[in-house]
Amino acid sequence: MFSLVNKSAVITGGGSGIGKAIAQLFAAQGATVHIIELNETAAAEVVNQINENGGKATAYACNIAEQTAVNDTFSKIRVVDILVNNAGVAHIGTADNTGEEDFDRVYKVNVKGTYNCLHAAIPMMKERKAGVILNVCSIAAWTGIPDRFAYSMSKGAIYAMTLSVAKDYLNENIRCNCISPARVHTPFVDGFLQKNYPGKEQEMFDKLSKTQPIGRMGNPEEIASLVLYLCSDEAGFITGNNYNIDGGFITLNN
């Protein structure tokens, strides 16, 4: 089950965290993996790991906020069976203390970057009359999280794009879904704690972990497993849906 043999999969932000776990799992399931990543070094490391383990992967240095760069990258990939829009940035702030520069940065990467990849990949899928798109949303799109104004805005847009794409391309046999993780323990989390809570990293890590009713953060491999299912042929009857993977955050925190 869940074989991706003979599938060409594009994963944005595949150099670390959730994207890395997805890339590794997809390769293990037989996909030819294409990692689009701003951090060339991180992407190269993941590609080397995959290839050394008998998989097939290629890295492409690209800023997804730039449409010309995205189009050039997809022209090199040529065949896209699966697109995982995972790349994103975060920002801490409320509506009144989020500066225009930070708001634009979040918008350009999370919203416009996703659009750019959709804009490039969908024509390739339409030509083949098949394709699967998975967008990484967030619980921030569904519930109020303090000090996450710009980030929440961007993830709300991800959900709206998911519905629109799922509806527009039903006749092209293109499926589109999204997932909404709660906090996941990635290098980003560790870096955030080191930067903002020096000397109190473990204390804050425990506090953040306990915001999930299940009592811990998720791990990237758990997220990747859900993504694999939704992108596999076994999920062929699923489109236009969001899946919370949040340790009970949304439904059990009331």
* Amino acid identity at 172: E
Of residues 60, 115, 151, 243, which has the active-site annotation? 151
Distances (CA, A) of 97 to 108, 138, 141, 148, 254: 19, 22, 20, 11, 28
Q: Is 151 a catalytic residue?
A: yes
Spatial distance between the Cα atoms of 32 and 121, rounded to a whole number of angstroms = 16
Spatial distance between the Cα atoms of 104 and 112, rounded to a whole number of angstroms = 10
Spatial distance between the Cα atoms of 199 and 251, rounded to a whole number of angstroms = 33
* Amino acid identity at 175: R
List the Cα angle 91/120/132 in 5-degree steps.
Answer: 85
- 141-148: Cβ within 8 A, 24+ apart: 141/180, 142/180, 142/244, 142/250, 143/249, 143/250, 143/253, 147/92, 147/93, 147/94, 148/90, 148/91, 148/92, 148/93
- Catalytically annotated residues: 151
